[in-house]
């Protein structure tokens, strides 16, 4: 990926991600990877002492390790424009995504949020109005869209290599919540808590990534669904497993499988898209490989960094052929895109949409997917329209 190192770094603040947190460290590593972004402040924990200690371990000045996000936004806004943070990275449990984003936007800061964007679909719709009124940028870390071979798959579908899309099968399976004792860890406890996770665990945590990937690569939109979600492990309030039948806006059918109780599965995100001329397959655990398959000629294995590729793919590649482009690099692509958007924004330029990080529209469709699947699973009715509002849960 060609990096412009002549420009000044974009200054980032962070809410969440203190000691003991998993995803915050991933976000920081990704943001730092290209040398475009520097962490200058944070409210790293709801515990002021932990926030201070976490920040100092990250070499953030003590005066800019804040006790809470509201204090951070207020104090940062008072600093000279050349010193204050330019955007905030939100890496908290789900229930805080919306209030932190709103406070940041109203204080004049851009927002990069972990997914899902909000706790409810109504909040996501409200957030869109706030973003549009704020004049600020908003990005969402749908990580898997940052992989080079996902960009290559998207380009090949758009170029018509598969022909008309007829079927999509996407699976995201993990096994880390297969047993009752798995609930004790910090990462599990909040994801299984309706007060912090929302209406869904499995679909809200990983199923939404699968739905986003299906829509992103195919260029289609889900218009109807039939869902079967449940908690397999006794005593859980939220789903840990589910199957969703899909219908897309061109008439294509689909199946989405998502599970966190699939023993032996690590992070099995696997998508197959079938067209009338060809099909493709990509697996997150083999990220450098994209398969194209046909009925009338040998299959093609397309490898990252080998031969010609789409411009969007080339801009996402960092390593020579044979060196895996992985999870942190995919995150980093989104952060690099967002940093570019901020730089262009401050120069009154508009970034090409193909080079932008996922935004509020992806956030709304993600929340709609979560709430629609939960509502459909509770109903005896077979097919349900994919609604963007007025969902009865």
The pLDDT tens digits of the residues spanning 330-358 come to 999 999 999 999 999 999 998 888 889 99
Q: Which structural domains are found in the chain, ordered by start?
A: 10-140+342-358 (3.40.50.720), 146-314 (3.30.360.10)
pLDDT of residue 138: 98
Average pLDDT over residues 352-365: 93
- 359: closest CA among 101, 22, 70? 101
Residues recorded for the chain:
393
Rg (CA), the chain: 21
Q: Where are the beta strands (DSSP E) in the chain?
A: 10-16, 37-43, 87-91, 110-113, 138-140, 165-173, 222-230, 241-248, 253-259, 268-275, 279-283, 289-293, 300-303, 384-385
Distances in Å between the Cα of 231 and the Cα atoms of 78, 260, 292, 326, 375 are 48, 10, 36, 31, 15
Read off the pTM: 0.93
CB 109 within 8 A of CB 13: yes
- Which stretch of 26-35, 130-139, 168-177, 182-191 has the lowest confidence by average pLDDT? 182-191
Q: What is the DSSP letter of 12?
A: E
């Amino acid at each position: 990926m060609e990096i412009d190192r002549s420009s000044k770094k974009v200054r980032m603040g962070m809410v969440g991600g203190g000691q003991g947190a998993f995803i915050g460290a991933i976000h920081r590593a990704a943001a730092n990877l290209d040398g475009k972004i520097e962490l200058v402040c944070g409210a790293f924990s709801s515990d002021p002492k932990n926030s201070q200690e976490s920040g100092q371990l990250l070499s953030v000045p003590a005066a800019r390790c804040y006790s809470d996000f509201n204090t951070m936004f207020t104090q940062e806004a008072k600093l000279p424009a050349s010193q204050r943070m330019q955007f905030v990275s939100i890496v908290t449990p789900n229930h805080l995504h919306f209030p932190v984003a709103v406070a940041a936007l109203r204080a004049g800061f851009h927002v990069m949020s972990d997914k899902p964007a909000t706790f409810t679909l109504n909040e996501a719709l409200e957030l869109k109005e706030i973003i549009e009124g704020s004049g600020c940028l908003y990005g969402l870390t749908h990580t898997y869209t940052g992989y080079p071979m996902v960009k290559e798959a998207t380009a090949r579908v758009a170029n018509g290599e598969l022909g008309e899309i007829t079927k999509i099968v996407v699976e995201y399976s993990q096994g880390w919540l297969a047993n009752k004792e798995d609930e004790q860890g910090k990462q599990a406890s909040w994801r299984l808590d309706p007060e912090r996770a929302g209406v869904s665990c499995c679909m809200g945590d990983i199923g939404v990534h699968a739905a986003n990937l299906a829509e992103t690569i195919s260029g289609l939109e889900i218009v109807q669904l039939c869902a079967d979600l449940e908690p397999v492990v006794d005593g859980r309030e939220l789903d840990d497993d589910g199957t969703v039948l899909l219908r897309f806006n061109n008439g294509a059918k689909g199946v989405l499988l998502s599970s966190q109780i699939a023993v032996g599965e690590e992070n099995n995100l696997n998508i197959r898209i079938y067209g009338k001329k060809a099909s493709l397959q990509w697996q997150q655990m083999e990220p450098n490989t994209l398969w194209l398959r046909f009925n009338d000629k040998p299959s093609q294995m397309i490898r990252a960094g080998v031969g010609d590729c789409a411009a969007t793919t080339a801009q996402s590649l960092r390593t020579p052929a044979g060196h895996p482009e992985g999870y942190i690099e995919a995150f980093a692509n989104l952060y690099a895109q967002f940093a570019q958007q901020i730089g262009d924004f401050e120069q009154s330029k508009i970034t090409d949409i193909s080079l932008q990080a996922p935004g509020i529209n992806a956030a709304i469709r993600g929340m709609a997917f979560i709430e629609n699947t939960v509502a459909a699973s509770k109903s005896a009715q077979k097919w349900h329209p994919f609604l963007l509002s007025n969902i009865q849960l």
